Structure 1
Amino acid sequence: MSTTKRDKSPKGEGFSPTFQIRIPPDLREQLNTEAAKDEMSLGNWFKELARNELKRRGIEPKG
């Protein structure tokens, strides 16, 4: 289980641009459940997932 918590430190000059995707309700429920297990919002869970995937591919994540 991950212990990553929400990073509340300021980043740059304000809000990041939004990224919207459509997710079927059943999949959304599964994703929400897993994010809650890690005590994260779904948005932060996706960011952590993306950062981990970049690292797995040998790319250092920015931001």
Structure 2
Amino acid sequence: MVRSPCINICEIERRSGLCRGCLRTVDEIMAWPTASEATRAALVAELATREIPRRRWFA
């Protein structure tokens, strides 16, 4: 069973649309409960490649 990547830090970053805690989009979070094990596994694998872009304060 693929466990949810949620770590209870639930805040959507405005620019990227990703949760700061689990790096999923709102759509991915909402689809998780009904997603197949294969879909969940693929998403968890993809999350390892995601990051929230750092803000550039002085550009």
Instruction: Work out whether the TM-score is over 0.5.
Output: no
TM-score scaled by structure 1?
0.29
> Normalization by structure 2: what TM-score?
0.30
Higher-helix-fraction structure = 1
Higher relative contact order (CA 8 A, sep 6+): 1
